[in-house]
Structure formats: structure tokens, C-alpha cells
Chains A and B, each alone.
Chain A
Amino acid sequence: MGLGALLWKDARRELRRKEGMQAGLVLVLTFLLLDLFAFPTLEGMPDAAAVALWTPLLFGAAALTLRGFAAEADLGTLDLLRGLPSPLGSHGWSRTILNLLLLGILAGLTVGAAAALFALPLSVPLLATLALAVAGLATVGTLASAIAAQARSREMLLPLLMVPVLAPLLQAGVAATMDALQGATTGDLRVHLLLMAGYDILAVGAAWLLWPVVLEGD
């Protein structure tokens, strides 16, 4: 069974149930609502605006990525997947690619909503930062969710597994977001964007090595 077939399988499942997207969206809107209680606007407040963007993105990513493998583990279909004539890594990559697309949509909605609510300036450097962030969040989040799905208390465990591993991406991403909101160009953010891109490449490499191990049966 090829990667394309597995991706179509996961996409159909998500289109039918919409569990991941709904969980992510509700969490994002909750955080934005909380920010509305405190800030009538975030124009001219790049520090607070960066937090207002990144907090819902991080926890929305956790909620979205968890649903995939958690549902498989709950239904007992994880063992069935292991029995399929396809490399174990393909299951991980199909889920990662799907999460990348869904997280991209979620990030777009988050940025759009935040820009509309808080008068934030959208710019190419900001969107480039968030695109690199989404790639890292999807790769690490999906891998961590596959680990958490095979443990108890997975909803509590997943953010704890994700945050330390994502710390470099979050550091560089938040710094880049603050600068982008103050009018920095892509050239000004070169170091930040290169660090984020480097992290994404490292994450993909680690995932390539670890997917067969993580999805292996007992």
C-alpha cells in the first residue's frame, strides 16, 4: 500500500469525522477569546501579539495532531495498520503530510482571525515565519502524538513531549514574529528563518529515523 493510498485513507477519515480540525479550531478560538478579554488591540505591541499568535498555534497543533493516532489506538486499528504490506514509516509520513495541510489551514485561520481582531499587520516575512513553524509543528507534533497515543493520559502527555523538543523552533519563531510585526523584511529575518529551516530539516531527519521504531508493535 503506497504513501498516496495511506494519505487518501487518512484524509477521508478526517473529512468524515473532522475530529482533529474541530479540536484544533475550538482551542484556537478559546485562546483568541481570552486575548480579547485583555487586549482591545495589539497594534504596536509586538511582544503580546507574538504570544497571542503562538500560544493558540502551539496548543491547536497539539490538539489536532493527537486525534490521528489516538483514534487508531482507541479503535484497535493500530495493530491492523502494522499488518499492512507497507513500511511502518509510510503510516507516519502520511499522517504527517495530512497534519501539515490541516495545520496550514489552522494557522491561516489563526493569523487571519488575529489580524482582524487585533489589527495586526500581515507581511511576507510573517507568513514565511509561520510557514516554517507549521512544518516543524506538524513533523514533531505527529511523531510525539504517535508516542503519546501508545501511553496513558495522552492528552496531558503530548504537550509535555512536544514543548521541550520544539523549544528551538519556538524561540526562533517568536523572535522572528516580533521582528516581522515591527516591519522587519525577509532579509532582516534571514538568521531566524535559516534557524527555523535548519530545525525543520533536523526534525524531518529525526522523524525518518524514528517512525519505524515508534510505530513498531509490542
Chain B
Amino acid sequence: MREDTVARIRWGSLWLGLAALAVLVWATWWDTPWGRAPDWTGATDVAAPMTRKLLFYHPALAWASFAAYLVTFAMSIAYLNERDLRHDAPARSAAAVGFLLNTLALVTGTLWGIQEWSRSGQSALATVYTEPKVLVVVVMWLTFAAYLLLRRFVDEPARRARLAAAFGILGFLGVPASWLVSRLLAKSLHPDVVGPGANPDAAISAYEGGLVWLSALAFTLLFVHLWLMRLRLARLEDRLAGQEAS
């Protein structure tokens, strides 16, 4: 792809993403011409109305980190297929951004979960981190961390790209497997807000559902921007390393 096209996508995704995020923040905290900001103050089944507004940020962060891992997986396959170091830079850039997004998803999820969930004989934090869906995100976080650490401990570029690509593929397979195990073996407190398995106790209005999709769009665009920015930096690093070697 041409450099100017990539630059257009990079900056376009930033501005569009920030615009979507601004609309989202406005719509979740103030009233808009087309809808009122969600307010769960009167809802008896909601433990922390303020924290519940994380509904419009937390799932999108998690989805964006899944997307980042998918990019890492795909570029790892591309590298192993062609052995071109140009495919290594997108993989490691996506992993770095994905790790950040995954961390934010865990932080926001923890803040929300310790307010909303409780099990007798267990601290709120333990309840959150024994929750099956949270464990899947923790597994993905550990996989990102291991991938990035592996890259730090291999010096030779081709070997580093090869081993990281192999681990990127191996680690990616663990995430859906972990999701399946969690789904089949454990009872979950984590609500399915949208989709065919939607939990009726966690029902939200169509307006709130629209805000959830808007947040997904905002964070996906911001992921694209961060990824392309990190990719630009990675390519400059590679060019510098190549010049130093020669």
C-alpha cells in the first residue's frame, strides 16, 4: 500500500475515532437531542450506577484487543509463509497495542466487577478473577506479555521474527480453547448483554445498545491509528538497525 494512503488511514482513523469517542462520552454523561444519558440510579439490580457506565467502554476495549491479537496471528502466518521481515513489524506493533488495550480492558473490568459481583466467602477481587470470561482475557494478556518478552530475549532479527511468529500462532490457539473450557465448565456472573445468548437480567435499551456499538467503532478506529503509528515506528527501527548492521 502506498505510503500516503497509509498516512491518510492513520490520521483519518485518529480523527474519526476521537470524534466517535467524544460523541460517546457526551452521550453517556449528558443528554443528547436523540436520547438521554443512561442513568441506573433507580435500578435495584445495579450495584454501582456510575461504574456501570463502563459498559460503554470495557467491552469495546476487550474486542479491540481481540482484534489486535487476530492481526498478530495473521501477520505471524504471513511472515512464516514468505519469510519477509516486513510482515514482522505489523505483528509486533499489533501485539504492543493489543497489550495496552487488554490491560485497559482488565482494569475497567475489574473496577466494574468488584462493584457488581459478589460470592459468599470470597473477596470481590477473587470473585472477579475466578470469573470464566475474565480468565480468558487474563490468558490473552499473559500471551501478549509472553510474546513481547520473547522478542526482548532474542537478538538476531530473523530468529526473533521466526520464533515470535511460531509463538504468536501457538498462543493464539490457546485463547479460543480457554474460552470454550470456561464456557463449558463454569457458571458465569459475566452478563451477555448482546447476541443470541443475551442475559435477560442484563437487558439494555436499543439506545444503550447503539452506544455500545458506537464505542466498538471508536475503539476499533483508535486501535487502527495506534497500530499504524506503532508500525511506522517499528519500520524506522528496522531501517536504523539495517543501517547500523551495514
Contacts and interface: CB of A to CB of B under 8 A. Distances in A.
B153 to A, nearest CB: 4
Contact of B174 (A143, A150, A165, A209): A165
Q: Is the interface of B mostly helix, strand, loop or mixed?
A: helix
A210 B163 CA distance: 10
Interface stretch (A30-38, A49-57, A63-71, A167-175): A167-175
A218 B156 contact: yes
Given A168-B178, A206-B173, A191 B149 contact: no
A125 to B, nearest CB: 15
A171 B150 contact: no
B158 A218 contact: yes
Contacts of A206: 169-170, 173
Nearest to A192: B185
A161 interface: yes
Contact of B173 (A151, A153, A161, A202): A202
Interface residues on A, range: 20 to 34
A202 B170 CA distance: 10
A166 B174 CA distance: 7
A152 B143 contact: no
Contacts of B149: 157, 160
B154 to A, nearest CB: 5
Contacts of A210: 166, 169-170
Given A165-B174, A191-B184, A151 B166 contact: no
15 contacts: A144-B170, A147-B166, A147-B167, A157-B149, A157-B150, A160-B142, A163-B146, A164-B139, A168-B174, A168-B177, A195-B180, A202-B173, A206-B169, A213-B166, A214-B162
Given A157-B150, A167-B174, A218-B159, 8 more contacts: A147-B150, A150-B163, A157-B149, A165-B171, A171-B182, A195-B185, A210-B166, A216-B162
Q: Which 8 A-B pairs have the closest CB atoms?
A: A168-B177, A164-B142, A164-B143, A151-B153, A167-B139, A152-B153, A165-B174, A168-B181
Interface of B: 80, 135, 139-140, 142-143, 145-146, 149-150, 153-156, 158-159, 162-163, 165-167, 169-171, 173-174, 177-178, 180-182, 184-186
Interface of A: 140, 143-144, 147, 150-153, 157, 160-161, 163-168, 171-172, 175, 191-192, 195, 199, 202, 206, 209-210, 213-214, 216, 218
